[in-house]
Amino acid sequence: MPAPDLSPLPPALSTVPLRLRVLHLEDSELDHELMLAHLRRGGIDPDALRVESEAGYRAALAEPWDVVVSDYNLPGFSGLRALEILRDSRLLLPFILVSGEIGEQVAVQAMLTGANDYLLKENLARLVPALLHAIEGTEALRAKQEADLALGQSEQRLRELAQHLQANIEAERTAIAREIHDDVGGSLTALKFDLAWIERHARDPAVAQRAQGALETVTLAIESSQRIMHNLRPAILEQGLIAALQWMTQRFEKRNGVVTVFRTSRDELPPLPAGVPLAAYRTAQEALTNISKHAYATRVEVDLTVAGRVLSLEVSDNGRGLIQEDLAKARSFGIRGLRERAAQVGGWVDLSSGPGGTTIILSVPLEAGGDTGPGEFDGLQDDPDDPTSWDMLR
């Protein structure tokens, strides 16, 4: 048995003893008293409990402690087992392993497992500094965990706020589109009929010519109104996501002169959960808008697939690609908005970019059997005021 440590103990850290709750796993009452003596001489007033069985240790963990000091060899279990029990309990407590014969390999294993420190019983002069250092480190870790938790909660609240705002934006867009249809559309239609009547019944060629010019102006106004309404609320989605994407890509190619290819793995999609068609449509819309503004691409490919109960929409171009500065712009909300929109329907957005172009992939897991619950456009399909009835203006 090694000789007791007779080296000078560290001086008291302050005139007022630091009171600490110490759980001591030790089968020797003499070693327990020796540890208490070292703590007191180091300026600590220990509120200690000695346990020597696994059952006693488990029961003691229900109480609050500042630190666990454990012998390596215990009746029926070991200090490493005690450390494992502490880790499984998810209690954040500093753990110091003390032994009279611990080897280097065991000490390394203990540190890798989560022990804060290990000491030899013949060198307990290090006990108080090691204990205080372990407590300080654990407090810092606890503070970091609390900060991480608070940050996570804050991010969750921010995400919920963004989703709420996005839902409000879509509702407002729908309301504005309906007002344009009801107020502006109705007036333009009536004006078009009146101008057509004037043109047919005008006896003065100058009047007829003036009416014809006015008719052309009204027609342009109707087309502009249709375009604005569509941007606000893509009524084409009521014909299905495939039809909407086909229409979007064809219009993009026509307007921008960029070869645009749309492919899909299915002729018809299964019933999609509420919100998914609009999320996919807006993703494609945002991606194509960015391509037209920044990519300098000559070819765009849009692929829509449903495989393994996952809907995937991939938009890729052969443009100049995005640089890190583009993604780091403080006011660059396009990609962030797409990710928030995807999260609303349980999906996510992956972005890859390089000198050969950019690819955006929206992935949305679909529930088994498909959720056919109400979507954004349900309840409007039989509405006589639905903007799809703009065909009457043609």
What pairs with residue 76 in β-bridges? Answer: none
Q: Residue 51, SS3?
A: strand
Domain 16-121 has CATH 3.40.50.200: no
Domain spans of the chain, in order of start:
16-121, 142-229, 235-363
CB 255 within 8 A of CB 206: no
Q: What is the pLDDT of residues 269-301, one digit of tens each?
A: 888 888 899 899 989 998 999 899 888 899 999
| CA 188/CA 222 separation, integer angstroms | 7
Mean pLDDT computed over 346-369: 87
DSSP-derived secondary structure letter, 356: T
Note if the pTM is more than 0.75.
Answer: no
pLDDT of residue 385: 35
Protein fold of 235-363:
Heat Shock Protein 90 (3.30.565)
For the purposes of burial, counting CB atoms within 10 Å of the CB of 214, is it exposed (0-12), middle (13-18) or buried (19 or more)? middle
Question: Residue 7: what pLDDT?
Answer: 46
Phi, psi torsion values for 352, nearest 5 degrees: -135, 140
- Report the C-alpha gap between 192 and 316 in whole angstroms: 42
On average, the pLDDT of the chain sits at 83
Helix (H, G, I), strand (E, B) or coil at 23: strand
**Residue among 116, 161, 109 at smallest CA distance from 136:** 116
**What's the whole-number mean pLDDT along residues 376-385?**
35
**Helix 79-88 to helix 104-113 angle, to the nearest 10 degrees?**
10
Q: What pLDDT does residue 380 have?
A: 33
pLDDT at 331: 58
The arithmetic mean of pLDDT across residues 7-32, rounded, is 75
Least confident of 121-130, 183-192, 316-325, 378-387: 378-387
Domains 16-121 and 235-363 share a fold: no
Specify the higher pLDDT residue, 106 or 296.
296
CA angle (105, 111, 117) in 5-degree steps: 110
Rounded distance, CA 343 to CA 166, Å?
A: 12
Task: Dump pLDDT digits (tens) for 201-256.
Answer: 988 999 999 999 999 999 999 989 888 887 787 778 888 999 999 999 999 999 89
